[in-house]
Structure 1
Amino acid sequence: MIIRKATNRDSDEIISLISTVYDEYGEIMFTDGADKDLLDIKENYHLSGGDFIVLENKMGEIIGTHATLPKDISNRLITFRRLYLKKSCRGKGAGKKLMDWAVKWAIDQHFKRVEFWSDVRFERAHKFFEGYGFTKTGEIREMTDGALPYSEYFFSLDLL
Protein backbone atom coordinates (compact mmCIF):
# COMPACT_ATOMS: atom_id res chain seq x y z
CA MET A 1 0.00 0.00 0.00
CA ILE A 2 1.26 3.42 -0.97
CA ILE A 3 0.23 6.79 0.47
CA ARG A 4 0.48 9.72 -1.93
CA LYS A 5 -0.81 13.27 -2.20
CA ALA A 6 -4.22 13.46 -3.90
CA THR A 7 -4.67 15.66 -6.95
CA ASN A 8 -7.73 17.01 -8.72
CA ARG A 9 -7.27 14.20 -11.26
CA ASP A 10 -8.15 11.78 -8.44
CA SER A 11 -11.50 13.46 -7.67
CA ASP A 12 -13.70 11.06 -9.67
CA GLU A 13 -12.11 7.97 -8.12
CA ILE A 14 -12.24 9.51 -4.62
CA ILE A 15 -15.91 10.42 -5.08
CA SER A 16 -16.61 6.87 -6.28
CA LEU A 17 -14.89 5.34 -3.22
CA ILE A 18 -16.70 7.61 -0.76
CA SER A 19 -20.03 7.04 -2.56
CA THR A 20 -19.57 3.30 -2.03
CA VAL A 21 -19.08 3.88 1.70
CA TYR A 22 -22.11 6.19 1.79
CA ASP A 23 -24.17 3.46 0.10
CA GLU A 24 -23.50 1.18 3.09
CA TYR A 25 -25.33 3.70 5.30
CA GLY A 26 -28.09 4.80 2.95
CA GLU A 27 -26.36 8.13 2.36
CA ILE A 28 -26.09 9.94 -0.97
CA MET A 29 -23.07 11.79 -2.40
CA PHE A 30 -23.96 15.51 -2.55
CA THR A 31 -21.36 17.53 -4.44
CA ASP A 32 -23.66 20.57 -4.38
CA GLY A 33 -23.30 20.72 -0.58
CA ALA A 34 -21.48 18.62 2.01
CA ASP A 35 -19.23 16.92 -0.54
CA LYS A 36 -18.41 19.94 -2.71
CA ASP A 37 -14.82 20.02 -1.40
CA LEU A 38 -14.06 16.85 -3.37
CA LEU A 39 -14.49 18.65 -6.69
CA ASP A 40 -11.38 20.79 -6.11
CA ILE A 41 -8.97 19.09 -3.73
CA LYS A 42 -6.12 21.44 -4.58
CA GLU A 43 -8.10 24.58 -3.66
CA ASN A 44 -9.97 23.15 -0.66
CA TYR A 45 -7.03 21.36 0.96
CA HIS A 46 -3.55 21.95 -0.50
CA LEU A 47 -3.99 25.72 -1.02
CA SER A 48 -5.91 26.08 2.25
CA GLY A 49 -3.02 24.97 4.45
CA GLY A 50 -4.03 21.33 4.71
CA ASP A 51 -3.33 18.12 2.86
CA PHE A 52 -5.34 15.34 1.24
CA ILE A 53 -3.87 11.92 0.62
CA VAL A 54 -4.96 8.67 -0.95
CA LEU A 55 -3.95 5.11 -0.16
CA GLU A 56 -3.39 2.93 -3.21
CA ASN A 57 -3.14 -0.83 -3.49
CA LYS A 58 -0.52 -2.60 -5.62
CA MET A 59 -2.65 -2.10 -8.74
CA GLY A 60 -2.85 1.66 -8.25
CA GLU A 61 -6.51 1.60 -7.17
CA ILE A 62 -7.48 4.18 -4.54
CA ILE A 63 -8.65 2.19 -1.51
CA GLY A 64 -8.51 4.90 1.15
CA THR A 65 -8.45 8.64 1.77
CA HIS A 66 -7.67 11.07 4.57
CA ALA A 67 -7.35 14.85 4.81
CA THR A 68 -6.15 17.54 7.19
CA LEU A 69 -7.37 21.11 7.30
CA PRO A 70 -6.41 23.92 9.68
CA LYS A 71 -9.38 25.05 11.76
CA ASP A 72 -7.82 27.82 13.87
CA ILE A 73 -4.17 28.57 13.08
CA SER A 74 -3.65 30.99 15.99
CA ASN A 75 -4.69 28.29 18.48
CA ARG A 76 -2.89 25.54 16.49
CA LEU A 77 -6.17 23.66 15.99
CA ILE A 78 -6.69 21.31 13.05
CA THR A 79 -9.53 19.16 11.80
CA PHE A 80 -9.31 15.76 10.14
CA ARG A 81 -11.67 14.98 7.28
CA ARG A 82 -12.42 12.33 4.70
CA LEU A 83 -11.11 9.19 6.41
CA TYR A 84 -12.66 6.51 4.20
CA LEU A 85 -11.63 2.97 3.33
CA LYS A 86 -12.86 0.45 0.85
CA LYS A 87 -14.91 -2.10 2.82
CA SER A 88 -12.64 -5.05 1.97
CA CYS A 89 -9.62 -3.14 3.37
CA ARG A 90 -11.04 -2.39 6.82
CA GLY A 91 -9.65 -4.12 9.89
CA LYS A 92 -6.29 -4.79 8.24
CA GLY A 93 -4.25 -1.81 9.45
CA ALA A 94 -5.01 0.54 6.55
CA GLY A 95 -7.07 2.91 8.71
CA LYS A 96 -4.28 3.08 11.27
CA LYS A 97 -1.78 3.82 8.51
CA LEU A 98 -3.95 6.73 7.32
CA MET A 99 -4.51 8.04 10.86
CA ASP A 100 -0.80 7.73 11.69
CA TRP A 101 -0.06 9.84 8.60
CA ALA A 102 -2.58 12.53 9.63
CA VAL A 103 -1.37 12.73 13.24
CA LYS A 104 2.28 12.92 12.15
CA TRP A 105 1.42 15.58 9.56
CA ALA A 106 -0.40 17.65 12.20
CA ILE A 107 2.47 17.35 14.70
CA ASP A 108 5.05 18.19 12.01
CA GLN A 109 3.02 21.34 11.24
CA HIS A 110 3.02 22.20 14.99
CA PHE A 111 -0.69 21.75 15.60
CA LYS A 112 -1.63 21.12 19.24
CA ARG A 113 -5.12 19.70 18.94
CA VAL A 114 -7.33 17.82 16.49
CA GLU A 115 -11.10 18.28 16.47
CA PHE A 116 -13.56 16.72 14.04
CA TRP A 117 -17.13 15.56 13.61
CA SER A 118 -18.20 12.11 12.41
CA ASP A 119 -21.59 10.85 11.23
CA VAL A 120 -23.34 9.01 14.08
CA ARG A 121 -23.90 6.01 11.81
CA PHE A 122 -20.16 5.29 11.46
CA GLU A 123 -20.02 3.19 14.64
CA ARG A 124 -17.05 1.06 13.58
CA ALA A 125 -15.05 4.20 12.82
CA HIS A 126 -15.97 5.64 16.23
CA LYS A 127 -14.55 2.57 17.97
CA PHE A 128 -11.39 2.99 15.90
CA PHE A 129 -11.12 6.71 16.83
CA GLU A 130 -11.56 5.98 20.54
CA GLY A 131 -9.06 3.11 20.39
CA TYR A 132 -6.59 5.48 18.76
CA GLY A 133 -6.98 7.92 21.67
CA PHE A 134 -9.62 10.37 20.48
CA THR A 135 -12.26 11.47 22.98
CA LYS A 136 -15.94 11.41 22.01
CA THR A 137 -17.59 14.13 24.08
CA GLY A 138 -21.19 13.10 23.48
CA GLU A 139 -21.88 16.42 21.78
CA ILE A 140 -24.09 15.95 18.72
CA ARG A 141 -24.84 18.40 15.92
CA GLU A 142 -27.60 18.18 13.36
CA MET A 143 -26.56 18.75 9.74
CA THR A 144 -28.63 19.77 6.73
CA ASP A 145 -25.91 20.30 4.10
CA GLY A 146 -26.20 16.79 2.68
CA ALA A 147 -28.69 15.21 0.31
CA LEU A 148 -30.44 14.01 3.49
CA PRO A 149 -30.29 15.41 7.06
CA TYR A 150 -27.78 13.67 9.33
CA SER A 151 -26.21 13.93 12.80
CA GLU A 152 -22.56 13.94 13.87
CA TYR A 153 -20.56 13.22 17.04
CA PHE A 154 -17.65 15.43 18.13
CA PHE A 155 -14.15 13.93 18.62
CA SER A 156 -10.90 15.50 19.82
CA LEU A 157 -7.27 14.63 20.55
CA ASP A 158 -4.55 16.73 22.18
CA LEU A 159 -1.31 16.31 20.25
CA LEU A 160 1.22 18.26 22.34
Structure 2
Amino acid sequence: MSHVSICEFTEPYEKQVSELILHIQQEEYNIAITKDDQPDLMNIPSFYQVKKGNFWVAEMGSRVVGTISLLDIGNNEVALRKMFVAEEYRGSSFKIALRLLNRAISWAADHSIKTIFLGTTPQFLAAHKFYQKHGFIKIAQKELPSTFPIVKVDKFFYKFQVENAAE
Protein backbone atom coordinates (compact mmCIF):
# COMPACT_ATOMS: atom_id res chain seq x y z
CA MET A 1 0.00 0.00 0.00
CA SER A 2 1.35 3.39 -0.98
CA HIS A 3 1.74 6.22 1.46
CA VAL A 4 -1.00 8.85 1.61
CA SER A 5 0.04 12.38 2.46
CA ILE A 6 -2.21 15.26 3.48
CA CYS A 7 -0.92 18.63 2.35
CA GLU A 8 -2.13 22.15 1.77
CA PHE A 9 -3.48 22.93 -1.69
CA THR A 10 -1.12 24.55 -4.17
CA GLU A 11 -1.79 25.51 -7.80
CA PRO A 12 -0.39 22.29 -9.38
CA TYR A 13 -3.26 20.34 -7.75
CA GLU A 14 -6.02 22.47 -9.34
CA LYS A 15 -6.86 20.25 -12.33
CA GLN A 16 -6.90 17.00 -10.32
CA VAL A 17 -8.97 18.58 -7.53
CA SER A 18 -11.63 19.79 -9.97
CA GLU A 19 -11.71 16.46 -11.82
CA LEU A 20 -12.08 14.46 -8.58
CA ILE A 21 -14.86 16.63 -7.19
CA LEU A 22 -16.82 16.86 -10.44
CA HIS A 23 -16.53 13.11 -11.05
CA ILE A 24 -17.95 12.30 -7.62
CA GLN A 25 -20.73 14.88 -7.88
CA GLN A 26 -21.80 14.20 -11.46
CA GLU A 27 -20.90 10.57 -12.19
CA GLU A 28 -21.29 8.83 -8.84
CA TYR A 29 -24.18 10.78 -7.37
CA ASN A 30 -25.86 12.28 -10.46
CA ILE A 31 -25.96 15.74 -8.90
CA ALA A 32 -26.81 18.43 -11.43
CA ILE A 33 -23.87 20.70 -10.67
CA THR A 34 -21.11 21.92 -12.96
CA LYS A 35 -17.73 23.56 -12.50
CA ASP A 36 -19.37 26.85 -13.48
CA ASP A 37 -21.75 26.40 -10.53
CA GLN A 38 -18.68 26.22 -8.27
CA PRO A 39 -16.48 29.27 -8.98
CA ASP A 40 -14.51 28.46 -5.82
CA LEU A 41 -12.91 25.55 -7.72
CA MET A 42 -11.39 28.00 -10.19
CA ASN A 43 -9.65 30.07 -7.55
CA ILE A 44 -9.04 27.95 -4.46
CA PRO A 45 -6.25 30.08 -2.92
CA SER A 46 -8.16 33.35 -2.94
CA PHE A 47 -11.45 31.68 -1.96
CA TYR A 48 -10.36 29.24 0.77
CA GLN A 49 -6.78 29.99 1.79
CA VAL A 50 -7.51 33.37 3.34
CA LYS A 51 -8.03 34.50 6.93
CA LYS A 52 -8.71 31.37 9.03
CA GLY A 53 -9.55 29.17 6.05
CA ASN A 54 -7.55 26.56 4.19
CA PHE A 55 -7.80 23.73 1.65
CA TRP A 56 -6.06 20.35 1.81
CA VAL A 57 -5.56 17.43 -0.55
CA ALA A 58 -4.88 13.78 0.19
CA GLU A 59 -2.30 12.52 -2.24
CA MET A 60 -1.18 8.99 -3.01
CA GLY A 61 1.87 9.01 -5.18
CA SER A 62 1.15 11.87 -7.55
CA ARG A 63 -2.64 11.34 -7.55
CA VAL A 64 -5.10 13.49 -5.59
CA VAL A 65 -7.46 11.03 -3.87
CA GLY A 66 -9.24 13.37 -1.44
CA THR A 67 -10.01 16.98 -0.55
CA ILE A 68 -11.35 19.06 2.32
CA SER A 69 -11.56 22.77 3.01
CA LEU A 70 -12.51 25.25 5.68
CA LEU A 71 -14.00 28.55 4.57
CA ASP A 72 -13.68 31.41 7.06
CA ILE A 73 -17.18 32.83 7.61
CA GLY A 74 -16.21 35.23 10.42
CA ASN A 75 -16.82 35.24 14.17
CA ASN A 76 -14.30 32.39 14.65
CA GLU A 77 -16.54 30.08 12.61
CA VAL A 78 -15.83 28.16 9.42
CA ALA A 79 -17.76 26.21 6.82
CA LEU A 80 -16.42 22.75 6.02
CA ARG A 81 -16.62 22.32 2.26
CA LYS A 82 -15.35 20.17 -0.57
CA MET A 83 -14.94 16.98 1.47
CA PHE A 84 -14.47 14.32 -1.21
CA VAL A 85 -12.58 11.04 -1.37
CA ALA A 86 -12.12 8.94 -4.51
CA GLU A 87 -14.37 5.88 -4.33
CA GLU A 88 -11.58 3.31 -4.25
CA TYR A 89 -9.95 5.09 -1.28
CA ARG A 90 -13.00 5.33 0.96
CA GLY A 91 -13.48 3.32 4.10
CA SER A 92 -11.40 2.03 6.95
CA SER A 93 -8.55 0.58 4.89
CA PHE A 94 -7.08 3.99 4.06
CA LYS A 95 -8.92 6.25 6.56
CA ILE A 96 -8.43 9.16 4.18
CA ALA A 97 -11.70 10.89 5.09
CA LEU A 98 -10.86 10.67 8.78
CA ARG A 99 -7.33 11.94 8.21
CA LEU A 100 -8.64 14.87 6.19
CA LEU A 101 -11.26 15.69 8.82
CA ASN A 102 -8.71 15.45 11.64
CA ARG A 103 -6.37 17.81 9.77
CA ALA A 104 -9.18 20.34 9.34
CA ILE A 105 -10.27 20.09 12.99
CA SER A 106 -6.67 20.44 14.17
CA TRP A 107 -6.26 23.52 11.96
CA ALA A 108 -9.48 24.96 13.37
CA ALA A 109 -8.33 24.43 16.95
CA ASP A 110 -4.93 25.98 16.21
CA HIS A 111 -6.63 29.04 14.69
CA SER A 112 -9.13 29.67 17.52
CA ILE A 113 -12.12 28.48 15.52
CA LYS A 114 -15.08 27.75 17.80
CA THR A 115 -17.55 26.10 15.43
CA ILE A 116 -17.40 24.23 12.13
CA PHE A 117 -20.61 24.18 10.08
CA LEU A 118 -21.31 22.12 6.97
CA GLY A 119 -24.01 21.46 4.44
CA THR A 120 -24.42 18.27 2.45
CA THR A 121 -26.77 16.70 -0.05
CA PRO A 122 -29.37 14.02 0.70
CA GLN A 123 -27.49 11.62 -1.64
CA PHE A 124 -24.36 11.50 0.53
CA LEU A 125 -25.79 9.04 3.07
CA ALA A 126 -22.41 7.64 4.07
CA ALA A 127 -21.18 11.19 4.67
CA HIS A 128 -24.09 11.88 7.04
CA LYS A 129 -23.13 8.82 9.12
CA PHE A 130 -19.44 9.74 8.99
CA TYR A 131 -20.02 13.29 10.26
CA GLN A 132 -22.33 12.14 13.03
CA LYS A 133 -19.89 9.42 14.10
CA HIS A 134 -17.19 12.09 14.46
CA GLY A 135 -19.11 14.57 16.60
CA PHE A 136 -21.12 16.64 14.15
CA ILE A 137 -24.68 17.39 15.24
CA LYS A 138 -27.48 17.78 12.70
CA ILE A 139 -29.08 21.22 12.82
CA ALA A 140 -31.88 23.03 10.99
CA GLN A 141 -30.92 25.42 8.21
CA LYS A 142 -32.29 28.32 10.29
CA GLU A 143 -29.62 27.57 12.94
CA LEU A 144 -26.78 28.37 10.52
CA PRO A 145 -25.00 31.70 10.95
CA SER A 146 -26.12 34.33 8.44
CA THR A 147 -22.62 34.26 6.91
CA PHE A 148 -22.83 30.54 6.04
CA PRO A 149 -22.74 30.10 2.25
CA ILE A 150 -25.63 27.80 1.39
CA VAL A 151 -25.08 25.71 -1.74
CA LYS A 152 -28.28 25.06 -3.68
CA VAL A 153 -27.88 21.25 -3.59
CA ASP A 154 -27.35 21.11 0.19
CA LYS A 155 -30.38 20.14 2.26
CA PHE A 156 -28.79 18.76 5.47
CA PHE A 157 -26.69 20.83 7.85
CA TYR A 158 -24.37 20.01 10.73
CA LYS A 159 -22.21 21.76 13.30
CA PHE A 160 -19.16 20.74 15.31
CA GLN A 161 -17.90 22.52 18.43
CA VAL A 162 -14.11 22.67 18.33
CA GLU A 163 -13.01 21.56 21.80
CA ASN A 164 -9.64 23.27 21.90
CA ALA A 165 -10.80 26.64 20.60
CA ALA A 166 -9.43 29.59 22.55
CA GLU A 167 -12.03 31.63 24.39
Q: TM-score, normalised by structure 1?
A: 0.86
Q: Which residue in the other structure is 2:160 paired with?
A: 157
CA–CA separation in structure 2 for the residues paired with 1:69 and 1:114: 9
Q: Which residue in the other structure is 2:7 paired with?
A: 4
Deviation at 1:60, TM superposition (A): 1.5
* CA RMSD across the alignment: 1.9
Maintained 8 Å contact 1:8/1:39:
no
Distance 1:151 1:2, change over 3 A: closer
Higher strand share: 1
Q: Which residue in the other structure is 1:77 paired with?
A: 77
Are 1:51 and 2:54 counterparts?
A: yes
Calculate percent identity across the aligned residue pairs: 25
Structure 1 residue ranges without an equivalent (≥5): none
Q: Which residue in the other structure is 2:120 paired with?
A: 118
CA–CA separation in structure 1 for the residues paired with 2:96 and 2:132: 16
The secondary structure found in structure 2 opposite 1:150 is coil
Structure 2 residue ranges without an equivalent (≥5): 143-149
Deviation at 1:139, TM superposition (A): 4.0
Where do 4+ consecutive residues of structure 1 move more than 6 Å?
Answer: none
Q: Which residue in the other structure is 1:62 paired with?
A: 64
Q: 1:30 aligns with which of 31, 34, 57?
A: 34
Maintained 8 Å contact 1:30/1:36:
no
Q: Which residue in the other structure is 1:106 paired with?
A: 108
The secondary structure found in structure 1 opposite 2:123 is coil
C-alpha offsets along residues 39-73 of structure 1, whole Å, 9 cap, x if unaligned?
1111111135411110011x21000001111112x
The secondary structure found in structure 2 opposite 1:111 is coil
2:125 maps to a residue whose letter is E
CA–CA separation in structure 1 for the residues paired with 2:52 and 2:73: 10
